[in-house]
Amino acid sequence: MFEGQPQGELEALMKVNSEFRQLYFRHKELDKQVLDAELGVLPIDDMTLGQMKREKLAAKQRLLQMYERAH
């Protein structure tokens, strides 16, 4: 998600902001689960997949807001 940003900036933000760090890793976890579900590796129903995608999007939006506020 923050591929274009310097890794040092992200690491610094994660060190000083525990909410950002937790949300960042939750987003990564959801991203992997959604991908696995879409590939058929993780067997889940469509409703659960939809909830995971909404949670992932909400996490992304919150992370971007936090990042923007920090810079």
pLDDT of the residue at 49 = 97
pLDDT by residue (tens digit) across 11-67?
A: 999 999 999 999 999 999 999 999 999 999 999 999 999 999 999 999 999 999 999
pLDDT of the residue at 44 = 94
Contacts of residue 42, defined as CB under 8 A and 6 or more positions apart, other chains included, come to 33, 36
Contact 36, 42 (CB under 8 A): yes
More confident residue, 3 or 38: 38
15 lies in a domain? yes
44 lies in a domain? yes
Tally the domains of the chain. 1
pTM of the model: 0.89
3 lies in a domain? no
2 lies in a domain? no
Domain extent at residue 30: 8-70
